[in-house]
Amino acid sequence: MSECKKKEGVTGEDFVLKKAAEHWLLIRRLNQDAWEEEEEEEEEEEEEEEEEEEEEEEEECGEEEEEQ
């Protein structure tokens, strides 16, 4: 069996390097996905905070108008 692999030019080192590269790409992809998801969550939180601030400003303006 090892003779067949040697004939094909595939060594144990080649196999290990290929698997390491596959794992590295998978980890990189997962990290990228997680980073994008975190970024989306931060954007959503910022939007929610802006909406809350706008609502508070509108309430404050409404209260000031009622007082006058």
Which residues are within 8 A (CB) of 11 and not within 5 positions of it... i.e. 6 or more apart? 5
Residue found under tokens 């601030």:
53
More confident residue, 6 or 11: 11
Taking the model in full, what pTM does it have?
A: 0.52
Task: Please count the CA atoms within 13 angstroms of the CA of 63 that sit on its side-chain side.
Answer: 6
Written as six digits, the tokens of 41 are: 């969550």
Task: Please count the CA atoms within 13 angstroms of the CA of 48 that sit on its side-chain side.
Answer: 6
More confident residue, 10 or 47: 47
Residue found under tokens 């706008």:
54
Contact criterion met (CB below 8 Å) for 11 and 5? yes
Quick one: average pLDDT of 18-26? Answer: 97
